[in-house]
Amino acid sequence: MPAPMVTTQLVDRSGNPLGVAAAPLVTSNAPGEAHIGQVGGTTIISTGVLIRPADTADYAVGDLIGASTAPGVGNVMVLPGVARIPGGTGRVIRVRAATNQAAFVGTLRLHLFKTLVAPAVGDNGVLAAAVANYVNYYGSADVTLAQGILSDGSKGFMAFSPPIAFDVPAGASDIYALLEARTAFTPASGQRFSVTVEADVD
C-alpha cells in the first residue's frame, strides 16, 4: 500500500494561507532612496581649486581672493558633488584650506552659497557688500593656515559646531564658495588655493 502524500500550506501569523488574496506573497522592494539595511551615514569630501592672477598685489583684510581681477562668477570656487543626490541635503562638518605658498601664515574666510553668485568685485576688491545673493548664503568659516609638514604649502582646518546644514537646488549637487583674506599678506604670482569640505549627507 503506497504511503499517503503529505502536503503543507504555509500561513502568516494570522493563520491566512500565503499566496491568496488575504495574504499575498511578499515581494522585494524596487531600488530607491529607502536605504533598506543601511545603518550608517554617508560622508562626502569635495575640493575646489582657485589660482589667483599673475601679480603680487598685496591683500588687505576683507579683500576677495579670486581667479580674475574682473568681477563676476569667474572668482567663485565650485565644490562639486557635495550633495549625495541632486537636490539633496546634508551638513558641512569641517573645512580644510591649503595654499602652495609655504611662507603664508594667516586666516582665510570661506563663504558658502547654495547657488552660483557673481561678486561685484574681482581679485583684491573689497568683498563686503559686493555679493547680493544672501538669500542663498549658508554661512562662513575662518580657517587659520600655518606652515604644514610639506615643504610646498601652508594648510589648516576648521570644524563646525554645530555643523552648517545645506539644501542644494533640485537637479543640482554642487555648492559654491568665495574666499576672503582675513590677514593682510603679499601673495605669490599665480598662487594656488584649495578648499575641501567634509559633509555628512542624507
Each residue's pLDDT expressed in tens, for the chain with a length of 202 residues: 566 665 566 666 677 776 655 555 555 556 555 556 555 578 999 999 999 999 999 999 999 999 999 999 999 999 999 999 999 999 999 999 999 998 899 999 999 999 999 999 999 999 988 887 677 999 999 999 987 777 778 899 898 888 999 999 999 999 999 999 999 999 999 999 999 999 999 8
Record the pTM: 0.79
Residue 152 sits at the vertex; the CA angle it makes with 148 and 155, to the nearest 5 degrees, is 35
Residue whose entry in the numeric block shows the C-alpha cell 502524500: 5
Contact present, 193 and 59 (Cβ < 8 Å)? no
User: Hey, what's the torsion of the CAs at 18, 23, 25, 31, to 10 degrees?
Assistant: -160
User: Which fold would CATH assign to domain 42-201?
Assistant: Jelly Rolls (2.60.120)
Which pLDDT belongs to residue 21? 54
